[in-house]
C-alpha cells in the first residue's frame, strides 16, 4: 500500500446488500424454490393487534405462488396456490378439497399493508380463516375481501428449501 492510498483511500461506491431472511424479503428479490427462480412481485403484511405475518407473491412466467412467513414460537413457512373453492360469506367449520377434509383452525380480522402488485389493498381490513387437515400437512386459507372470498391451498416448507437473492432495491 503506497503513501497516497493511505492518505486518500478509495471510497467503495458499491451499495451494500443486506443479507435477506424470510422475514426481510423485498419486492424485486429472487426466490429459488423447487429448482425454479421466482421474482417477488408483491408483499402483503397482515397485522392483528401486535401479531404480524407476511405473504410474498412470487412470479415465474405465468405461474404465481405465495410464500407465507410468520414467526410464532419458531419460523413457519408455507407455499400457497390460489384454488377455486366456492364459499359463501360465512366461514364453515370444515371444508372438503380434493376428497380431503380440512377443519377450521383459526379465524379473525387483520389490517394489511401492501407493496408492489399488492399496493392497491394497502390499509384495508379483511376477515380470514385458516383450515388444516388431520395430519397438519395441508392447509386452506380463506380471505374475505369485501365482496369476494379468495381461497388458497398450501403446505409447510423448511427454510433450507429457499434461496433468497437480493434484488437491486
22-81 pLDDT per residue, tens: 999 999 999 999 999 999 999 999 999 999 999 999 999 999 999 999 998 899 999 999
Q: How far apart are CA 21 and CA 122, in angstroms?
A: 23
pLDDT recorded at residue 6: 59
Domain ranges of the chain: 25-165
Residue 35 CB: number of other CB atoms within 10 A? 5
Query: In the Cβ-directed half-sphere of 68, how many Cα atoms lie within 13 Å?
Result: 20
pLDDT digits (tens, 9 = 90+) for 85-144: 988 768 999 999 999 999 999 999 999 999 999 999 988 999 999 999 999 999 999 999
Rounded CA-CA distance 76/52 in Å is 12
What confidence score (pLDDT) does residue 103 get?
97
**Contact criterion met (CB below 8 Å) for 79 and 137:** no
Greater pLDDT, 139 or 4: 139
Of 19 and 99, the structure prediction assigns the larger pLDDT to 99
Q: What is the pTM of this model?
A: 0.87
pLDDT of amino acid 110: 96
Name every residue whose Cβ is closer than 8 Å to that of residue 149 and which is 6 or more positions away in sequence.
Answer: 87, 89, 142, 143
**Helix locations, the chain, DSSP H:** 3-7
Is 163 within 8 Å of 27 (Cβ atoms)? no
pLDDT for 17: 58
Amino acid at each position: 500500500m503506497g503513501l497516497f492510498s493511505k492518505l486518500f483511500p478509495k471510497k467503495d461506491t458499491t451499495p451494500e446488500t443486506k443479507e435477506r431472511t424470510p422475514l426481510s424479503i423485498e419486492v424485486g428479490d429472487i426466490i429459488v424454490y423447487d429448482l425454479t427462480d421466482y421474482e417477488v412481485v408483491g408483499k402483503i403484511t397482515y397485522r392483528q393487534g401486535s401479531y404480524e405475518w407476511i405473504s410474498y407473491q412470487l412470479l415465474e412466467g405465468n405461474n404465481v405462488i405465495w410464500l407465507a412467513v410468520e414467526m410464532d414460537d419458531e419460523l413457519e413457512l408455507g407455499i400457497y396456490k390460489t384454488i377455486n373453492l366456492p364459499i359463501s360469506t360465512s366461514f364453515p367449520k370444515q371444508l372438503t378439497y380434493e376428497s380431503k377434509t380440512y377443519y377450521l383452525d383459526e379465524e379473525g380480522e387483520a389490517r394489511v399493508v401492501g407493496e408492489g402488485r399488492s399496493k392497491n389493498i394497502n390499509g384495508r381490513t379483511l376477515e380470514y380463516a385458516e383450515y388444516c387437515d388431520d395430519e397438519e400437512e395441508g392447509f386452506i386459507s380463506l380471505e374475505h375481501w369485501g365482496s369476494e372470498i379468495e381461497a388458497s391451498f398450501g403446505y409447510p416448507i423448511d427454510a433450507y428449501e429457499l434461496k433468497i437473492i437480493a434484488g437491486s432495491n
